[in-house]
Amino acid sequence: MFKQLLIILVALCLIAGCQQKSNQTLPGINQLKEVKEIQISEFKELGSLNENFKEKFTKKDQLEVFKKALKSAKRQDEPIKIYDYDMKLNFTNGEDKALHIAKNKKNEIILKYIGDSNATFAINNEKSKDLIKLINLK
């Protein structure tokens, strides 16, 4: 009896753990209201930010597209070795965060915090379309 209970308990923990991971949102999402500027550069190297920025977004409507997209991102570990762009979020308090950006075959945008070992996040298809249009992600 004890052995059966233990097996059931382990199975439930595994199921709960898998569900929790897939519903995980992008860390730092609560800071998005404080974003004052977003900069985009070409991707150069995994784990480092290319600070030769080619685009800067500061208009309220542009920032809203980014914020809505980032809020929709859910953890979806998708192995990507080469990204398309780097993105730097600049906050009103002087802090910043940097991410790599890629587009997968389903036309979803995949995000990875620079310096994070392997956690990737997918933006839902609808929000990805808006963001792709804004930054001309090929």
Which H, E and C letters describe 29-78, residue by residue? HHHHHHEEEEEEEECCECCECCCCCCEEECCHHHHHHHHHHHHHCEECCC
Cα maximum dimension of the chain: 64
Q: Is residue 98 classed exposed, middle or buried when 0-12, 13-18 and 19+ CB atoms within 10 A define those classes?
A: middle
- Specify the number of domains making up the chain: 1
**Residue 118: is its pLDDT beyond 60?**
yes
Phi, then psi, of 31 in degrees rounded to 5: -90, -10
* Whether the model pTM is above 0.75: yes
Write out pLDDT tens, residues 38-71. 999 999 999 999 999 999 999 999 999 999 999 9
Q: Between 15 and 1, where is the model more confident?
A: 1
Contacts of 92 (CB under 8 A, 6+ apart): 34, 35, 36
What range defines the domain where residue 14 resides? Answer: 2-135
Q: Any idea what the CATH number is for the domain that residue 78 is in?
A: 2.60.40.4400
Give the per-residue pLDDT at 28: 78
Contact present, 53 and 41 (Cβ < 8 Å): yes
